[in-house]
Amino acid sequence: MNHTGALVSARGLTKIYEGPPEHVAVGGIDFDVRRGEAFGFLGPNGAGKSTTMRMIGCVSPRSGGELTILGHDAARDRRTIKARLGSVPQDDTLDTELTVEENILIYGRYFGLRRDVIRERTDRLLEFARLTDKRASRVQDLSGGMRRRLTIARSLVNEPDLLLLDEPTTGLDPQARHLLWERLFRLKQDGVTLILTTHYMDEAEQLCDRLAVMDGGRIVAHGSPRELIERYVTREVLELRFPLDRHEQAAEKARGIGERIEVLPDRLLCYTSDGEAALEEAGRRGLDPLTALVRRSGLEDVFLTLTGRTLIE
Amino acid sequence: MSVPAVHEFGYWWHRYRRTWRGTAVISIANPLLFVTALGFGLGRLVDERNSAYLHGGSYLAFIGPGLLAASAMQMGFIHGSGPVFQSARVGGNYRAAVTTPMEPSDIFTGHLLFTAFRATLDSAAILLVLLVFGAASPAALPGAVLTALAFATPISAYAVSTDRPAKLSALFRFVIMPLYMFSGTFFPAEQLPGPLRALVWLSPLWHGTELCRGSGPIVIHVLVLLALIVAGYLAGRRSYTRRLTA
Ligand SMILES: Nc1ncnc2c1ncn2[C@@H]1O[C@H](COP(=O)(O)OP(=O)(O)OP(=O)(O)O)[C@@H](O)[C@H]1O
Ligand SMILES: [Mg+2]
């Protein structure tokens, strides 16, 4: 059952929440996460990302399929697996009545670590999360972003081989996000395998070696960010905005520009290998946009192409 | 018993160390108020009538063990309901513990161990004061701890799976309170009218109270309380698992 060299391997992995009404949250997915890589699940609300993460974290039993983690069956060897995992759930699970330091201590004790070992690691973890001066503060006095950083620091107390991060940067300000990316990058260089979920395209592009795009409980595409962009979209995009009352009429007129047109509620996207040429063509057709922008395609466009929906609403 | 359970005990111990003074006052002062008011106040009235139901003993000696057992029930409810309910919710301690090598059954066992520890400590403190008044015997301690667990275990099993705190207050109002009134705490159960007298056998608190008084078929009282603990434990292992690993 051990798929070659994969740290995590799923085949036909399924999760059905028993109802009523019965709900298929994950509908039979296959993926392999290789040692040392950063693997991302990208998808809209309700796609099944957290459910998948919880199954990998051994806190949600699968309903069907196979799931092997670190060479062990996720249903059978939960303790062994969990001892080597770091886990950052989507909802914070910090104890708000305890201090920053105590949260790490209690959590470390759950792994059976000795107090002096935990104390020694706490110094480094707090520095990692830039919370050293908050050491004795109660968690209820921390900001949301600080709590997130503490949850991430805490998840490293057992020096995990595999770190699960469910929307690690949601709620962080841009500076904290970039700091965290840098820290995660460093962890990866130290050999920690990362699995993360995100709504953010830039995060996925920056952090992930490979991605699985999820929608409605299924993986609709996977590959590296670059592969996905090359496979599913043209090199450039022309974005046109019109006054709302002329929006539909303009969409009609624009038909046929570039290889494909995507009509969003607030703008038109023309997928093309040459954005400038498309813009000229639009001018020839008498289109008079409020704004026009030529840019390179990104994961957002991949997602739109695959699902017909934008990721961030 | 698995070793990881000790870490859940450790969590509650860690919290208790910082708050024990406040909690000790609440869990001990209340029974003491009762013992003073009932034992000395009401007791004087009762003893004058020389009731045959008391078999020649004083009302104080009667109410002492009764209050001990009733407080133990209350401890069982207090520790088995609120903290368990809160811990199982998003943001609660159980949610963090379950992402570590701890399994739901370890969490349950560890928390129960702590409840047993608290019940022993608090019952011993109450008993100490009762001893000073000559209102109970030291042999009542195991009965009190058993009573606390006979309530805490099934109540935890229920509280972990419930989604609304209102259900727990209903449990208090419709189960715990009536038991408190009609389990031989304040007056001997033999005084109840015929049909109710038989029903008292169904009350775990009555068995606990009799145990604390050292009266009646002790083995049966112990077995009833143990049966509740075992049944609650089996149910709790399932309900903890169902709730914490959905
Ligand atoms: N405990 C549960 N019981 C029943 N249904 C659930 C449960 N948890 C999740 N679901 C359902 O499963 C589906 C997938 O949810 P999941 O949380 O995995 O999505 P997600 O991709 O993480 O979404 P988001 O981006 O909003 O976090 C949703 O339709 C959700 O309603
Ligand atoms: Mg989610």
A14 lies in the same domain as A140: yes
Q: How far is A110 from chain B (nearest CA, A)?
A: 6
Q: Give the domain CATH number at A279.
A: 3.30.70
What's the structural domain count of chain A? 2
pLDDT at A208: 94
Does the pLDDT value for residue B88 go beyond 50?
Answer: yes
Q: Which atom from ligand 1 is nearest to the alpha carbon of A167?
A: 27
Q: Cβ–Cβ of B98/A59 closer than 8 Å?
A: yes
Tokens of A261: 């047109």
As a whole number of angstroms, the distance between CA A87 and CA A71 comes to 18
Q: Per the domain annotation, does A272 fall within a domain?
A: yes
A133 lies in the same domain as A169: yes
Q: Give the domain CATH number at A177.
A: 3.40.50.300
Structural domain of A286: 234-297
Single residue among A194, A222, A250 that ends a domain in this structure: A222
Q: What residues of chain B lie within 8 A of the CB of A93, using their CB? A: 90-92, 95-96, 99
Mutate to test the interface with A, among B100, B105, B109 (most CBs of A within 10 A): B100
As a whole number of angstroms, the distance between CA A174 and CA A191 comes to 26
Q: Per the domain annotation, does A120 fall within a domain?
A: yes
Q: Calculate how far, in angstroms, residue A217's C-alpha sits from the geometric centre of ligand 1.
A: 9
pLDDT at A312: 55
User: Across all residues in chain B, what is the average pLDDT?
Assistant: 88
pLDDT, tens only, A252-297: 888 888 888 888 888 889 999 898 888 888 888 888 888 889 999 8
Does the pLDDT value for residue A2 go beyond 90?
Answer: no
A64 lies in the same domain as A148: yes
A217 lies in the same domain as A238: no
A105 lies in the same domain as A165: yes
Percent over 90 (pLDDT), chain B: 56
pLDDT, tens only, B94-117: 999 999 999 999 999 999 999 999
A23 lies in the same domain as A150: yes
Q: Per the domain annotation, does A227 fall within a domain?
A: no
Q: Per the domain annotation, does A21 fall within a domain?
A: yes
What count of CB pairs under 8 Å joins A to B?
67
Please state, in angstroms and as integers, the Cα–Cα distance from residue A39 to each residue in A7, B192, B232, following that order: 11, 70, 43
Q: Give the range among A211-215, A307-311, B76-80 with minimum mean pLDDT.
A: A307-311
A40 lies in the same domain as A88: yes
What mean pLDDT do residues A183-192 have? 92
A92 lies in the same domain as A138: yes
The arrangement of strands across the sheet holding A236-241 comes to: A260-263, A268-272, A236-241, A291-296
Q: Which residue type, as a one-letter code, is found at position A222? A: H
Q: Calculate how far, in angstroms, residue B194's C-alpha sits from the geometric centre of ligand 1.
A: 56
User: Which residue's alpha carbon is nearest to atom 12 within ligand 1?
Assistant: A25
Using an 8 Å Cβ cutoff, are A12 and A28 in contact? yes
pLDDT, tens only, B170-186: 999 999 888 888 887 88
The region that residue B57 occupies, defined by phi over 0 for left and psi between -120 and 50 for alpha, beta otherwise, is beta
Ligand nearest to the CA of A88: 2
Single residue among A222, A244, A275 that ends a domain in this structure: A222
As a whole number of angstroms, the distance between CA A292 and CA B41 comes to 89
Q: Cβ–Cβ of B96/A107 closer than 8 Å?
A: yes
Q: Per the domain annotation, does A1 fall within a domain?
A: no
pLDDT band of residue B190 (cuts 50, 70, 90) is confident
What mean pLDDT do residues A167-192 have? 89
Nearest alpha carbon to residue B211 among B139, B150, B158: B139
Q: Per the domain annotation, does A186 fall within a domain?
A: yes
User: Which helix (H) or strand (E) is B45 found in, with range?
Assistant: helix B43-49
pLDDT band of residue B49 (cuts 50, 70, 90) is confident
pTM of the model: 0.90
pLDDT, tens only, A117-172: 999 999 999 999 999 999 999 999 999 889 999 999 999 999 999 999 999 988 88
| DSSP state, residue B135 | -
A173 lies in the same domain as A202: yes
pLDDT at B25: 76
pLDDT at B107: 97
A103 lies in the same domain as A198: yes
pLDDT at A4: 53
Ligand 1 close to Cβ of residue A289 (< 6 A)? no
As for the ipTM of the complex, it is 0.87
Q: Cβ–Cβ of B101/A111 closer than 8 Å?
A: yes
A63 lies in the same domain as A160: yes
Percent over 90 (pLDDT), chain A: 60
Does the pLDDT value for residue A21 go beyond 90?
Answer: no
Single residue among A196, A222, A248 that ends a domain in this structure: A222
What mean pLDDT do residues B192-221 have? 87
Percent over 70 (pLDDT), chain A: 97
More confident: A31 or A248: A31
Q: Per the domain annotation, does A35 fall within a domain?
A: yes
Q: Per the domain annotation, does A228 fall within a domain?
A: no
User: Across all residues in chain A, what is the average pLDDT?
Assistant: 91
More confident: B2 or B240: B240
A85 in contact with chain B, both atoms CB, cutoff 8 A: yes
Q: Which atom from ligand 1 is nearest to the alpha carbon of A17?
A: 4
What mean pLDDT do residues B153-180 have? 92
pLDDT, tens only, A211-231: 999 999 999 999 999 999 999
A143 lies in the same domain as A241: no
